Amino acid sequence: MGASHFIFARYASVSASAMYVGYSIGPAGMVLGLVDNPRSTYRELIIGGFTRVGRGSQGVTVAVAYASASDAPYIQVYINPSLNLGRLSLSGSAEQYLPLDGDGTRELDFNPVTLLVRVHRLVGIGAAYTVAMPHGNVSKERLGPALQLTIPHGTLGVEILRNLNRSAAEVRLALTTSF
């Protein structure tokens, strides 16, 4: 199966919100993204390419992109697997930040890794976990419940993540659609 067109938008109450739009031509496509944290000065403008290997809801999407971030330019590598086994689904997003100059921070993020149990054909409940591992700094981990609703051509998700390093909690809403 080749790549598909997609839109992903996530609002985050504490960390950065993001939007990615992908358009494919056959097995590969182009992705544009925007990351913004209004509580800090951090922003990214992203452009790159992607492909998807798999069948149906089983597979992995791989992307390589250039990001013009507020702290430095980066090459970013994304790996997004999805696995469905009956009522269980496991999905994730791994992202490697590779700075192109000395001002950037090399970092590996898993944001999020989600395990869901389908309790109805349109509803999944479970847990979401995120970890940011900047080179030379303390990792930041968050964990909490997740709810996912299936909508025509996509999903609507809610996560309530508690920062494991301190008591701050975050609500995240995500819309994913493909066509």
Predicted confidence (pLDDT) per residue in 10-48, tens digit: 999 999 999 999 999 989 999 999 999 998 999 999 999
User: What would the pLDDT profile of 144-166 be if each residue is shown by its tens digit?
Assistant: 999 999 999 999 999 999 998 87
- What is the pLDDT at residue 131? 96
Sequence length of the chain is 179
Q: How confident is the model at residue 3 (pLDDT cuts 50, 70, 90)?
A: low
Q: Measured between alpha carbons, how far is 82 from 90 in angstroms, rounded to an integer?
A: 6
Nearest to 100 by CA among 69, 73, 64: 73
78, 51 in Cβ contact below 8 A? Answer: no
91, HSE (Cβ side, Cα atoms, 13 Å): 18
Question: What are the sequence ranges of the domains in the chain?
Answer: 6-178
pLDDT-based confidence at 1, cuts 50/70/90?
A: very low
Q: So what's the pLDDT on residue 76?
A: 98
Q: Are 162 and 7 in contact (CB under 8 A)?
A: no
Q: What is the pLDDT of residue 55?
A: 82
Fold of 6-178: Porin (2.40.160)
- Which is nearest to 18 in space by CA: 3, 4, 38? 38
3-state secondary structure the chain: CCCCCEEEEEEECCCCEEEEEEEEECCEEEEEEEEECCCCCCEEEEEEEEEEEEECCEEEEEEEEEEEECCCEEEEEEEEEEEEECCEEEEEEEEEEEECCCCCCCEEEEEEEEEEEEEECCEEEEEEEEEEEECCCCCEEEEEEEEEEEECCEEEEEEEEEECCCCCEEEEEEEEEEC
Q: What would the pLDDT profile of 52-71 be if each residue is shown by its tens digit? A: 998 877 999 999 999 999 99
| Mean residue pLDDT across the chain | 94
Residue in the block written with tokens 């591992």: 133
